Amino acid sequence: MLRRLRRGQAQGIVIHKIDRSARNLKDWSDLGELIDQGIEVHFVNESLDLHSRGGRLSADIQAVVAADYIRNLREETRKGFYGRIKQGLFPLPAPVGYLDKGKGRAKEPDPIAAPLVRKAFEMYATARYNLDTLGRELHRLGLRNKRGGPVTRTGLSTLLNNPFYIGLIRLKRTGETFPGAHPPLIPKLLFDRVHSVLTGKTNTRSQKHDFLFRRLLACKHCGYSLVGELHKGHVYYRCQSKQCPVTCLREEVVEEALRQVLAALRFSGPEKACLKARLERLKVTWGDRREDEIKSLMLRQNQLQDRLHRLTDAFLDGTIEKPLFEERKAVLLMERKAVEENLANLRQDRQSVPDRITEFLELAGTASFLYKTGLAEEKRDLVKIVTSNRTVDGKNIVIEPLNPFQEIIKRHPVLSGAPERNRTSIAGSAILRPIR
């Protein structure tokens, strides 16, 4: 409107009241410049001559009062808004996957959209989709935005970055984070996995050639990933940096090195018998250990709560600035959310530690067989689970297993004499490190 008045498209303007023209003093200043330029400004409820000194003074006073009224209204609205936020309630429209249940009530999962939102996180966490392919697949499954249309690329990015789905409320404009009272749709572990994909730590770009070890091998000198190339029916992995020594490795060499690592994870018959016996003893005492673990997590939860209180006190005392306060607060809330999830899992006994150890040992013992019989993508997933650093120096490759797989490989046979301290003898011929 002001732009059209400056262009001379109208001779003047009629406004209901002064407070409708001056929500702040800058607006009133802009309007005053138009009045000085000869633009006619009239108010319906106030009979003011803005071209006279007395009329202009009266209008200026009313404009200041109007600006103060708007400022007070803003503070009251902000107070009510943050009051709801601190109660764990989100006073804005619910994001996709949740339903609004009215004022003063927490958002509830949408029985139709919530499973699809959960599916979106699970699919993107596999690193086999980008935002475009994920959007098309979710649209095919039936996910829609609040207007009934397909979820856009930007909408998907917002959805996957929103900690609301793990039970936290983050205000985008201020960067503040608060615990929410609504039920989470996904666990924090899945949210972290998706975040690593979104930030580029996991590659999701489409590949012209689906090489088995793409982006899994790194040059020891520059640290960049080796690029796969197909020559005469064989796949070679090369470092593209000109500053590094010539690095070229055939895929068969990498597979052989990997097979040796996986073969070292296999257990012998006596080892299997020993592990089975120890797991049976662990299951007997698991109830007491579970209670100890619950107490430990509760203690950690209280410690995090105390740290949040101390952080808030430091902010109120002016010891730290608000940006640093919000950053540390978000980290503590995320950590507390992880502890709460672990505590809930233990209390509900969804999967006991002995069961998880059993699954781990089964995976370790059958890793070599799974690699031999698996599809290409299954092999890649297994490599990521079992190994960490995979570096290449010229023709040499070093593959380091992840802990605790590394502990299994490091076990030493005892051919004669007594077993070493803190180790358990297996049939008098081999030893195994204690399970941690």
The residue-averaged pLDDT of 236-249 equals 80
pLDDT confidence of 349, banded at 50, 70, 90?
low
Write out the H or E segment, with its range, that includes residue 155: helix 153-160
In the three-class reduction of DSSP (H, G, I as helix; E, B as strand; rest coil), residue 397 is classed as strand
Is residue 422 over pLDDT 80?
Answer: no
pLDDT recorded at residue 354: 73
The residue-averaged pLDDT of 329-357 equals 80
Is residue 117 over pLDDT 90?
Answer: yes
pLDDT recorded at residue 351: 58
Is residue 202 over pLDDT 60?
Answer: no
Nearest to 22 by CA among 32, 14, 13: 32
pLDDT recorded at residue 429: 29
- Could you report how far apart the first and last alpha carbons of the chain are, in Å? 71
Is residue 355 over pLDDT 80?
Answer: no
DSSP code of residue 27: H
pLDDT recorded at residue 209: 57
Alpha helices in 264-386 (DSSP H): 269-316, 322-348, 353-373, 376-386
The answer to whether residues 311 and 325 touch, using CB atoms and an 8 Å cutoff, is: yes
Q: Are strands 387-393 and 218-219 parallel, antiparallel or unpaired?
A: parallel
- Report the half-sphere exposure of 312 (CA within 13 A, side-chain side): 11
DSSP code of residue 50: T
Q: Return the ∠ at Cα 296 (arms to 292 and 301), rounded to 5°.
A: 145
Sort residue 216 into left (φ over 0), alpha (ψ -120 to 50) or beta.
Answer: alpha
The domain 98-198: what is its CATH number? 3.90.1750.20
What gap in Å lies between CA 219 and CA 115, rounded to an integer? 41
Angle, helix 153-160 to helix 113-125, in steps of 10 degrees: 80
What gap in Å lies between CA 188 and CA 154, rounded to an integer? 22
φ, ψ of residue 69 in degrees (nearest 5)? -60, -45
Is residue 420 over pLDDT 70?
Answer: no
Is residue 171 over pLDDT 80?
Answer: yes
The residue-averaged pLDDT of 382-390 equals 85
The answer to whether residues 214 and 180 touch, using CB atoms and an 8 Å cutoff, is: no
Is residue 434 over pLDDT 50?
Answer: no
Question: Which residues face 43 on adjacent strands?
Answer: 15
Per-domain boundaries in the chain: 2-86, 98-198, 269-359
For the entire predicted model, the pTM comes to 0.56
Angle, helix 188-198 to helix 322-348, in steps of 10 degrees: 130
Distances from the Cα of 269 to the Cα of 276, 361, 368, 393, angstroms: 11, 14, 16, 37
In the three-class reduction of DSSP (H, G, I as helix; E, B as strand; rest coil), residue 349 is classed as coil
Is residue 224 over pLDDT 60?
Answer: yes
Peptide bond into 404 cis (omega under 30): yes
Q: Are strands 248-250 and 108-109 parallel, antiparallel or unpaired?
A: unpaired
DSSP code of residue 109: E
pLDDT recorded at residue 412: 58
227 Cβ contact partners less than 8 Å away, ≥ 6 residues apart: 237, 238, 239, 240
The residue-averaged pLDDT of 391-411 equals 83
Least confident of 91-100, 184-193, 412-421: 412-421
Q: Dig out the tokens for 295 from the structure.
A: 């107490």
DSSP code of residue 224: P
Burial of 257 (0-12, 13-18, 19+ CB in 10 A): middle
Placement of tokens 């098309």 in the chain: 136
